[in-house]
Amino acid sequence: MKYLTLEEYKEKIIFLNKLNKAYHQDDEPLVSDSEYDELKKNILNFEKKNPKLKDPKSPTNRVGFSPSNKFSKVQHLVPMLSLDNAFTIEDVEDFIKKIKNYLNLKNDFFPELIAEPKIDGISASLIYQDGKITKGLSRGDGEFGEDITENLLTIKDIIKIIPSRPKGLFEIRGEVYIAKNDFDKIKDNFANPRNAAAGSLRQKDSNKTKLIPLKFFVHSIGKINNHNFLTHFDFLKFCGESGFKINPLSSILISIDSLMKNYENIEKMRSSLDYDIDGIVYKINNLNLQKRLGSLSSSPRWAIAHKFSSQKATTVIRKIEIQVGRTGALTPVAKLDPVNVGGVLVSNATLHNENEIKRKDIRVNDTIIIQRAGDVIPQVIEVIKSKRGKNSKKFAFPEKCLCGRPAIKDFNETSKKLDVVKRCTDSGFNCEYMAREKLKHFVSKDALNIEGFGKKVVDNFWHINFIRLPQDIFHLNYKKVELLEGWGEQSVNNLKSAINKSKNISLLKFIYSIGIRHIGQENAKNLSKYFITIQNFLKLCNQANLSKEIEQLKELDGIGDTQIESLETFFKDKKNNEIILELSKILNIEDFKDSKIDSFFSGKNVMFTGTFSGMGRSEAKTLAENLGANILSTVSKKLNFLIIGSSKPTKNKIEKAKELKIQILEEQDWLKLSKN
Ligand code: IVH
């Protein structure tokens, strides 16, 4: 038996993963079975001897390679969102405060919450028609899931017929997991129970799924047509009575104290439970309040995951490197001796910024404690000073970006202080480091969403000069791509069709994808709502009119001084303009469509001032948006209605509105009209 070095081990993993892909995906074995087995044995042997160095990408973690194109894609009836995280009790208090503000609840009122363990598994959606299961989907990208019906049907906890046969559509969502004692029997093949459950669920052959005992807890409501539950608890109760498994540690809580006690109790029980959990999920119990709260782009306002404390490990910093982000931020990253933190091999940790390095006195060759929480990049908590040796070296933070341009700290108008982050002084694609990150953003899930075009592909194509600007993606020479290592006819065909598919894009996603600093998804929505068509948006590329155009954006909700400054810098850059013009020719950019209902407020420009008694200002704004209104932030001739809350409306605004003869609505009028 050959003993591998760490380097050889990593190489063999890459090789074995390729063999797996060739075998399982392309049905084309590249080596004999005995060669394959020998290679796998070498890898397993290394992992047994060096469990701390086990690579999470090791093929020994998987049953087989299951590419996503094996399952057909189905659009979710309502998006499957993820959850925002709270790491401290202050984060939880903040969550409740925001809810109270949004709904304008009285200070001493504590909204009823339901607390459930957060199961570390794989989420799935089950669709029933007249009580009979018709489809089972994975989460996928939240908007489209994979049809894994056959595999889900092998799970005993998933009942096939709801006894009361609810009429029409009834969608149940929950978590598929593997019990720890079942995992013990198969653990040599997987890194952790979650991986085992994921691998098993994604088997093409459901007979293989059957071999691994999977379980299911119900945790949320999908789309339901003919059932009126008043609370989340009522829904869970119904599912429990119908034969589903409901987590027995769920409870209804009505104070911060009880939340904390419940959290501590369950954290103590964590290791003795027969399934992995990684926190507690708090949800507003009342479904009407949930509906009023609604969601942000990726998580609901009515729920949060309170994560258990993260895992820590000790290692040594070997080097500090600078990474340039897509907005030009220079982030120092510690390169570490690889160390296993709770099942994940970690070799990088963020040092955040220059101040952080100084504050924690972090030096190269220092022994440090790192912490990893969820999917967040690990952080250095502290330096073990007693272990500091003579070879420890202070890090001189660079004055320049990696591209050679000066890097400076911005002056923050709100805090009247210099920013802590140094940024490259380029405004976009001229800095090659920023450009590469911008490309990664451009192809990412919430932007163009080019499947198979991940960060690694961007890096690869960048290194060999295939892409420099977003438009290059649409002029790729596929013949050349096919010759690259890791690419073949089939994968190039998939890439080609994914790129072609991405050419149809909404104006909102397009604005988001070009990656203007401070223009996230919400502001991209505000801008696309204002511009409606790409032709209007292109007016920003006309230098002569730029200041005039930008001036008008000040009225838009969400667009403040910071956004205006950023838009100005972006559009003053010639290259940015060229890119946008070029892309507008290549892409089919669809007009902004308000999918909202026809109402009294459709297409009207409204502005709110003062506080409202029945709802918070944010809720009022969202309601108006849902009714098709545009929210403005200044009083101008364009405004159709100034809506004033019953207390503390701004006098100036009312006077100006009167001067301009703009219709003023009092809270009661607004409520009546919004209900019509
Ligand atoms: S509620 C809108 N409850 O955690 C999302 N999710 O990080 C509603 N999860 O995708 C989800 N246990 O798959 C909810 N008790 C629980 C959960 C839970 C695990 C998963 C779920 C979700 C992910 C978010």
How far apart, in Å, are the Cα atoms of 561 and each of 519, 551, 665?
Answer: 12, 10, 28
Q: Indicate if ligand 1 lies below 6 Å from the C-beta of 123.
A: yes
Residue identifier of the C-alpha nearest atom 17 of ligand 1: 118
- Do residues 556 and 527 lie in contact, with contact meaning Cβ atoms separated by under 8 Å? yes
Separation of CA 138 and ligand 1 centre (Å)? 13
Hey, how many other C-beta atoms are within 10 angstroms of the C-beta on 18? 15
Separation between Cα atoms, residue 522 and residue 628, nearest integer Å: 16
- Active-site residue identified among 12, 21, 54, 118: 118
Q: Indicate if ligand 1 lies below 6 Å from the C-beta of 276.
A: no
Separation of CA 160 and ligand 1 centre (Å)? 22
Residue identifier of the C-alpha nearest atom 14 of ligand 1: 219
User: Is the sign of the CA dihedral 474, 476, 482, 485 positive or negative?
Assistant: negative
Note the pLDDT of residue 32: 60
Measured CA angle at 235 (ends 232, 237), to 5 deg? 110
Note the pLDDT of residue 35: 67
Note the pLDDT of residue 27: 46
This prediction's pTM: 0.64
Residue identifier of the C-alpha nearest atom 18 of ligand 1: 118
Mutation test residue for ligand 1: of 83, 276, 376, the one with most atoms within 8 Å of CB: 83
Q: Indicate if ligand 1 lies below 6 Å from the C-beta of 538.
A: no
Q: Indicate if ligand 1 lies below 6 Å from the C-beta of 249.
A: no
> Would you call 118 a catalytic residue per the annotation?
yes
Note the pLDDT of residue 326: 94
Ligand 1: atom nearest CA of 174 is 13
3-class SS letters over 472-514? HHHHCCHHHHHCCCCCCHHHHHHHHHHHHHCCEEEHHHHHHHC
Q: Indicate if ligand 1 lies below 6 Å from the C-beta of 83.
A: yes
Note the pLDDT of residue 262: 97
Ligand 1: atom nearest CA of 305 is 7
Block mean pLDDT (10 aa), the chain, length 676 = 80 81 57 67 82 78 47 92 89 94 89 96 96 94 90 95 95 96 79 82 83 93 92 97 96 95 93 91 97 90 90 92 95 93 84 93 95 78 92 96 95 81 92 96 94 94 96 96 89 94 95 95 91 96 91 90 93 95 97 79 90 84 88 89 87 91 90 83
Residue identifier of the C-alpha nearest atom 13 of ligand 1: 123
Q: Indicate if ligand 1 lies below 6 Å from the C-beta of 122.
A: no
Note the pLDDT of residue 108: 85
Separation between Cα atoms, residue 17 and residue 58, nearest integer Å: 8
Residue 258, class by beta-carbon neighbours within 10 Å (0-12 exposed, 13-18 middle, 19+ buried)?
middle
Residues 6+ apart with CB under 8 A from 480: 466
Separation of CA 334 and ligand 1 centre (Å)? 32
Ligand 1: atom nearest CA of 139 is 10
